[in-house]
Structure 1
Amino acid sequence: MHINLTGHHIEITTSLRHYVEEKFTKLERHFDQINNVHVILNVQKMQQKAEAKLHLAGGEVFAMSENADMYAAIDSLIDKLDRQVIKHKEKLTKH
């Protein structure tokens, strides 16, 4: 899995990069056919925004999360993506 991490109005520190990479390994446990991930971290005034687009075998998944804390926004984003990836995997196994 290749992770592209982009920051808008925020500097991507090594600790933030390691946190994102650590959280995305959780998704690999559920579905190992994740090809590419594009994560955008954005700061707008007091809101921290995290978006991610996953390129999976058989489709794409997108999620977005906002919070006052960037780490909480990333956690919420991972939870949303986790549910969508599991749903995508179940859809593939039914066919």
Structure 2
Amino acid sequence: MDNNPSDPTTPVGAGAWSLPPPFDQVQSHLGQAIVTAVDQALDRTMDSKLQTMRTELTNELTVAINDAVHKALKGPLDEWVKDRQSMTFRLRNLEAAQRN
């Protein structure tokens, strides 16, 4: 076995074999097609993962904003409810006093 690159049994690289024409071109095209397919699969996977991350982030932000708004408004809303109840109570007392 000599190192003739046209000999299909001659190793070209680590585990690679050189094919005679036109099979060498087929091998090259197949290699490029496989690389392209892997790149596309990785792109789709990354796009899918990024979309999932965007959705999770949106959901988490929505929860965080709702919690922050609730906490920020809880005190003022509680005060408003107390004031409203107090005014309603006073109004009833005034109406009762006017009737008597």
Q: So what's the TM-score if we normalise by structure 1?
A: 0.27
Return the index of the structure with the highest Cα Rg: 2
Q: Which has the higher contact order (CA 8 A, sep 6+)?
A: 1
Whose strand proportion is higher, 1 or 2? 1
Q: So what's the TM-score if we normalise by structure 2?
A: 0.26
Whose helix proportion is higher, 1 or 2? 2
